[in-house]
Amino acid sequence: MAQEQFQKSRDFKIAKIALAFALIAIGFFIACLFNALPSNLEHPSSLFTSNQVHAPSDFIKEDNILVYNDRIVINVDNASLSKYASSGSMLPLFDTGANGIRIKPNSPDEIKLGDIISYERNSELIVHRVIEIGTDEQGIYFITKGDNNALSDGKVRFDEIKYITIGILY
């Protein structure tokens, strides 16, 4: 009798484990089907995202990107190219091998949360992401931080800002 009860208990545990694996497999299959739906958009996974990070503004509209068989042309007024120092502060977004496309902002209103700006401090050009925008007794300020840095840079004033990065080329 005890042997029979032990066998039933063991069979029940095996059935529960099999059911759990079946549910996981079904969930995985459904997720694969969902990701296989036809779309011309890429779907980044947010499965492991822990902090809210704002994406940069969309400065380059689709109408300004011309794709030919032998080249791509991006029409941006008053743009210049930038190269980056090997500080590592913006990893994994970019490092020394990347080229940036940048523009000079005309007003603080052009700079949004998530934008990557270049500002000058102590004769050094620093390239970090805007994580906060606020105002105080001196006016508008931007709090920036390198994507790979633990601490923010403090308040950056508009007159310190030299560029907004509008594209990264690898």
Say what the pLDDT of residue 46 is: 47
Which segments of 68-138 are extended strands (E)? 72-74, 79-83, 99-103, 116-121, 124-136
Q: Order of strands, edge to edge, in the sheet holding 99-103? A: 79-83, 99-103, 161-169, 116-121, 124-136, 139-145, 155-156
Q: Are 122 and 136 in contact (CB under 8 A)?
A: no
Q: What is the pLDDT of residue 21?
A: 72
Question: Whole-angstrom Cα distance, residue 81 to residue 75?
Answer: 13
Q: Which residue has the tokens 């995985």?
A: 28
Beta bridge partners of 79: 103
In the chain, the domains with their CATH numbers are 62-169 (2.10.109.10)
Measured between alpha carbons, how far is 98 from 83 in angstroms, rounded to an integer?
A: 7
pTM over 0.75: no
State the Cα–Cα distance between residues 8 and 28, nearest whole angstrom.
30
Cross-strand pairs, 67: 72
Torsion angle of the four alpha carbons 27, 34, 41, 56, in this order, in degrees rounded to the nearest 10: -30
C-alpha distances in Å from residue 133, one per residue of 105, 107, 110, 157: 15, 14, 12, 10
- What string of pLDDT tens digits covers the 170 residues of the chain? 656 665 666 777 777 777 777 778 777 777 665 555 555 555 454 444 445 678 888 889 999 999 999 999 999 999 999 988 888 888 888 888 889 999 999 999 999 999 999 999 988 999 999 999 999 999 999 999 998 899 999 999 999 999 999 999 88
Residues paired with residue 130 on neighbouring β-strands, in sequence order: 144
